[in-house]
Amino acid sequence: MKAYSNLLLTLLLPLVSSQVFHWGPCPQPPVQQNFDLHRYLGKWFEIEKLPASFERGKCIEANYSVRADGTIKVFNSQLWRGKVRTVEGTAVVQDIREPAKLGVSFSYLTPYSPYWVLYTDYVSMAMVYSCTDILRLFHVDFAWILSRTRTLPPATISSAKVTFTSNNIDISKMIPTDQQGCDKQR
């Protein structure tokens, strides 16, 4: 019974906590070829995202680093209701043949969520996609446009959106993240 209710919770949580779900299985976009995790480490700022209810604040950023034990630390922070909120998680490469397909978990209680790097040049921007199939009937997905700085040229953002769309990812609900006034408030 416990296992059953845990399964149910895992299945239903994405539904109640996100506004973005679509019929049909997850799209299978191509990911960054020859992905080099070490060049990807460090600080990234969130420029736009498909709404995720766990990220309601502003000044959202992530810092990826290698822990002493070799695991990848994910350190996310955001400013919400005037306070800096942080959360630490772990990223893993689930299949070394596909290094751009990471999994990220923020608690040992929750399974690893997909974190696919669709594209990155490592030095300026990255496109990340996360999609979970639910009973193969529908899927819940998240998408992020990340930048090494708090802003990106509008042309870069539009071209990222064209790439998402051409890979059958519906980013019509994507919204910009407020990255203004962040440095003075910290």
Closer to ligand NAG at the Cβ: 18 or 77? 77
Rounded CA separation 20/55 (Å): 14
User: And the tokens for 57?
Assistant: 């604040």
Residue 63 interacts with ligand NAG (CB under 6 A)?
yes
Closer to ligand NAG at the Cβ: 43 or 101? 43
What is the contact mask toward ligand NAG in residues 65 to 104, using x (rule: CB under 6 A)? x---------x-----------------------------
Residue 43 interacts with ligand NAG (CB under 6 A)?
yes
DSSP string, 59-118: EEEEEEEE-TTSPEEEEEEEEETTEEEEEEEEEEES-TT-TTEEEEESSTTSPPEEEEEE
User: And the tokens for 163?
Assistant: 């790439």
Residue 148 interacts with ligand NAG (CB under 6 A)?
no
Closest approach of ligand NAG to the CB of residue 109, in Å = 23
**Interface residues toward ligand NAG, by CB under 6 A:** 43, 63, 65, 75
